[in-house]
Amino acid sequence: MTRGRESLLGPSYFYHRYLVKKSKGWSLGEIREYQESRFQRLIRRYGSEVTEKEDYIQQPGKYTRWDLPLLTHTVRTGGTSGQPLRFTADTFARRQKERAYLFDIWAQVGYAPYDLRVRYAGDIHDGMLRYNRLENVWIISPGATMEGQLGELRSWVRTLPPFFLHVYPSSLYTFVDLIGESLFRSLPIRGVIAASEMFPAGEQARFEQDFGLEVAHWYGHSEYATLAYCCRMCRGFHFYPTYGYVELLSSEIEGCRRIVASAFNRIGTQFVRYDTGDLAVDPDKRCTADNFPRASAIVGRSQETFVDSSGRRRSLFGYAFGDLDHGAFYDQIRDIQFVQDKAGFLRVRMITNPGADRDQIQQTFERRIPMARLEFEYVSAIERSPSGKRRYFVDAPHANEKDNHDHRQETRPSADLEQPSY
C-alpha cells in the first residue's frame, strides 16, 4: 500500500529523492561543483545584490520566471516577520520536491511515506478532528481543544494504532499537557515530527531523554529557498545542497551570521541571495554524517506561548499563524502583534491593508483562539523593541525583562546559543 501511494508522488519527487541519496556521499568538491553552476546562473540572470522581502513586494515581476496560468500558483507567507509576502510557485514540481526532502528528514525517526500521522495543528471549522485519507493523517484543531472537549480527545487518542506525532516545537508540551503526561507516555507514538520553528536551547534533547521518543526536526521557511535537517549526530543543522544555495554572511550581532539563500526552483518567483531574516551560528566541530554546509544552531526564531483562560500555556504560532498562510487571509494584514497583559486575555494589534474585512479578521481569530478573550486594536504603526526587533508576541508583564535579555543576546550570544543544542 505504501509503495503504491508513493508511486503517485510524481517524477520530481523521485528525482529529488535520488539527489538527496546521492548527495549524502558527495565530497566537498562535488557539492561545490553542483551548487556553483546553478548559483552563477541565478547571479547572471538576476544580479549579485543581496535581496530582502521588500524587493519581492515592490518588484515581483523582476524575480519571476515562467509565471503562467496553471503552471504556477500564488503562495503567501505568514505574518510572524512583518508584512506577509505573496509570490508564485511551481504548481506541480514544488510540492513533489518538498516531499522528497521532508520525507528524508522524517525518516530519521522511522517514518516511511504515508505512515499514519496525527497532526496537532490547523483549523477545522466544524469540529475537533478530521481525517485526510489521501495523506493518512488525523488533524487535531488546537482551537477546538477547550476544557470541555478534552475528555473526548483523551478517549479518542486511546483508540489510535501506532502513529507519528506531528507538531510545532512550541505546541509539543501543550499537547502533552492537554491529554495528560501519563496518557501521553502510554500512547503508541513511533516518533515526533517537529516543524520548522526552533526549539529553545536543549529542549529537544531533554524531551527525547524524558519521554524516550526521537524527534525529527528541521529548518525551513515558506519561500522554499533553503532547507536544513537537524542532525542527530552533531545536533547542528545540515543544509541540503541540492535544495538551494545558502550563504552565512556577517551580521551586526557578534557570533551570529545572516542566512542568505538562493532557491534552485526554475519556475515561479526566483529568490536570489535572499536575506531570510534568520541568524545562524558557525559550526564549531566537524560532523561525519555528510559534507553538507552546516550551522551549529539557528537563532532568531523562537517559540512564543500564551496563557489561556484556564491557565494552560499554549503555542501562539499554531493558533494565530499556522495554516493561515495557505489562503488569502494574511493579504488583509500588513503587520500584527499579540500582547498578553494577563492570563486569558490577548490584545491583537494590527495594521490592515486597504479594503480589509475587519469583521472577517476578528471572527477568524475568535474562532481559532476561543480559549482567550480577544481585544482588537487597529493602529498605524507597531513599535519595535529597544533591540530593534518587531516581536509578534509581547508578554507585557515580562516585556522589560525580555527587552533587556534581547539586547544582551544581540550584543553577545549566550553560552547556550553557541552550543549545537537545538
**342 pLDDT band (50/70/90 cuts)?**
very high
pTM for the whole thing? 0.76
Q: Is the pLDDT of residue 296 over 60?
A: yes
pLDDT tens digits, one per residue of 20-77: 999 999 999 999 999 999 999 999 999 999 999 899 989 988 999 888 888 888 887 7
**281 pLDDT band (50/70/90 cuts)?**
confident
More confident residue, 319 or 54: 54
Cell numbers for 364: 477568524
Q: How far apart are CA 403 and CA 387, in angstroms?
A: 7
Helices (H), 271-368: 316-320, 358-368
Helix, strand, or coil (residue 341): strand
The Cβ of residue 41 has, within 10 Å, a number of other Cβ atoms equal to 12
Q: Which CATH class is domain 305-411?
A: alpha beta
CB 261 within 8 A of CB 271: yes
Burial classification of residue 156, based on how many CB atoms lie within 10 Å of its CB (0-12 exposed, 13-18 middle, 19 or more buried): middle
- Taken in order 175, 180, 182, 188, the sign of the CA dihedral is negative
CB 224 within 8 A of CB 267: no
pLDDT at position 417 is: 22
CB 114 within 8 A of CB 6: yes
CB 194 within 8 A of CB 173: no
Range from 71-80, 142-151, 296-305, 398-407 that averages highest in pLDDT: 142-151
Residues 6+ apart with CB under 8 A from 214: 108, 109, 110, 191, 192, 208, 232
Residues 6+ apart with CB under 8 A from 101: 16, 20, 227, 240, 243
Helix, strand, or coil (residue 315): strand
Q: Mean pLDDT in the chain?
A: 84
pLDDT tens digits, one per residue of 372-411: 999 999 998 887 543 334 567 888 766 544 444 443 333 3
Please name the fold of domain 2-299.
Rossmann fold (3.40.50)
Q: Is the pLDDT of residue 278 over 90?
A: no
pLDDT exceeding 70 applies to what percent of the chain? 85
pLDDT exceeding 90 applies to what percent of the chain? 53
Distance of CA 4 to the CA centre of its chain: 29
Cell numbers for 384: 519595535
Lowest mean pLDDT among 22-31, 188-197, 291-300, 321-330: 321-330
More confident residue, 43 or 171: 43
- Taken in order 178, 159, 116, 233, the sign of the CA dihedral is positive
What are the structural domain ranges in the chain?
2-299, 305-411
What phi and psi values does residue 267 have, to the nearest 5 degrees? -120, 140
Residue type for 251, please? Answer: S
pLDDT at position 153 is: 95
pLDDT at position 325 is: 53
Helix, strand, or coil (residue 193): strand
Helix, strand, or coil (residue 364): helix
CB 168 within 8 A of CB 317: yes
Q: How far apart are CA 194 and CA 270, in angstroms?
A: 27
Nearest-10 Cα torsion for 31, 32, 37, 40: 130
